[in-house]
Amino acid sequence: MVSERLIGMADTAPARPVVTRFAPSPTGYLHIGGGRTALFNWLYARGRGGKFLLRIEDTDRERSTPEATEAIFRGLRWLGLDWDGETTSQFEQRHRHAEVAREMLARGSAYKCFSTQEDIEAFREAARAEGRSTLFHSPWRDADPATHPDGPYAIRMRAPRAGETVVEDAVQGTVRFRNDQLDDMVVLRSDGTPTYMLAVVVDDHDMGVTHVIRGDDHLNNAARQQMVYDAMGWEVPVWAHIPLIHGPDGKKLSKRHGAVGVEEYQIIGYPAAGMRNYLTRLGWAHGDAEFFTTDQALAWFDLPGIGRAPARLDFKKLENLCGQHMAAMEDAALLHELEAFLAASGQPGLTPPQRDLMHSALYCLKDRAKTFPELVDKARFILTARPIVADEAAARLLDPVSRGILKTLTPQLQNASWTKEALEALMTETAMAQGLSFGKLAGPLRAALAGRTVTPGVYDMMLVIGRQETIARLKDAAA
RNA sequence: GGCCCGUUCGUCUAUCGGUUAGGACACCAGGUUUUCAACCUGGUAAGAGGGGUUCGACUCCCCUACGGGCUGCCA
Judged against a pLDDT cut of 90, whether residue A202 lies above it is answered with yes
Which residues is A169 bridged to in the sheet? Answer: A173, A239
Catalytic residue numbers of A read 255
Nucleotide nearest to A438 (CA to C1'): B34
Per-residue pLDDT band at A437 (split at 50, 70, 90): confident
Nearest-5° angle of CA A220, CA A223, CA A226?
A: 145
Per-residue pLDDT band at A6 (split at 50, 70, 90): very low
Judged against a pLDDT cut of 60, whether residue A310 lies above it is answered with yes
Alpha carbons A129 and A147: distance in angstroms, whole number: 30
Alpha carbons A240 and A171: distance in angstroms, whole number: 5
Q: Residue at minimal CA–C1' distance from B11?
A: A314
Nucleotide nearest to A138 (CA to C1'): B73
Judged against a pLDDT cut of 60, whether residue A141 lies above it is answered with yes
Model pLDDT, residue A204: 97
Share of chain A above pLDDT 90, in %: 72
Q: Residue at minimal CA–C1' distance from B39?
A: A367
In whole angstroms, B2 C1' to A98 CA is 32
In whole angstroms, B67 C1' to A34 CA is 21
Nucleotide nearest to A458 (CA to C1'): B34
Per-residue pLDDT band at A57 (split at 50, 70, 90): very high
Per-residue pLDDT band at A27 (split at 50, 70, 90): confident
Judged against a pLDDT cut of 50, whether residue A473 lies above it is answered with yes
Nucleotide nearest to A119 (CA to C1'): B73
Contact (CB, 8 A) for A373 and A269:
yes
For the segment A338-345, the average pLDDT, to the nearest whole number, is: 96
In whole angstroms, B34 C1' to A447 CA is 12
Nucleotide nearest to A117 (CA to C1'): B73
Per-residue pLDDT band at A2 (split at 50, 70, 90): very low
In 3D space, the residue among A369, A367, A390, A391 whose CA is nearest the CA of residue A474 turns out to be A390
In whole angstroms, B6 C1' to A126 CA is 33
- Does this model's pTM top 0.80? My answer is yes
For chain A, first and last CA: distance in Å?
Answer: 81
Q: How many other C-beta atoms lie within 10 A of the C-beta of residue A470?
A: 24
pLDDT tens, A213-259?
Answer: 999 999 999 999 999 999 999 999 999 999 989 888 877 887 777 77
Nucleotide nearest to A24 (CA to C1'): B75
Judged against a pLDDT cut of 70, whether residue A11 lies above it is answered with no
Judged against a pLDDT cut of 60, whether residue A142 lies above it is answered with yes
Model pLDDT, residue A364: 92
Quickly list DSSP for A124-167. HHHHHHTT-------TTTT--GGG--SS--EEEE----SSEEEE
For the segment A205-209, the average pLDDT, to the nearest whole number, is: 97
Judged against a pLDDT cut of 80, whether residue A84 lies above it is answered with yes
Higher pLDDT, A2 or A119: A119
Per-residue pLDDT band at A59 (split at 50, 70, 90): confident
Per-residue pLDDT band at A15 (split at 50, 70, 90): low
Model pLDDT, residue A252: 80
Per-residue pLDDT band at A392 (split at 50, 70, 90): confident
- Name the 3-class secondary structure at A477: helix
In whole angstroms, B24 C1' to A179 CA is 44
In whole angstroms, B52 C1' to A166 CA is 28
In whole angstroms, B65 C1' to A195 CA is 38
DSSP state of A235: P
For the segment A65-91, the average pLDDT, to the nearest whole number, is: 95
Nucleotide nearest to A115 (CA to C1'): B73
For the segment A411-430, the average pLDDT, to the nearest whole number, is: 88
In whole angstroms, B57 C1' to A45 CA is 38
In 3D space, the residue among A432, A431, A373, A360 whose CA is nearest the CA of residue A402 turns out to be A431
Q: Residue at minimal CA–C1' distance from B25?
A: A317
pLDDT tens, A154-187?
Answer: 999 999 999 999 999 999 999 999 999 999 999 9
The nucleotides of chain B lying under 7 Å from a protein CB are 1-8, 10-14, 22-26, 34-39, 67-75
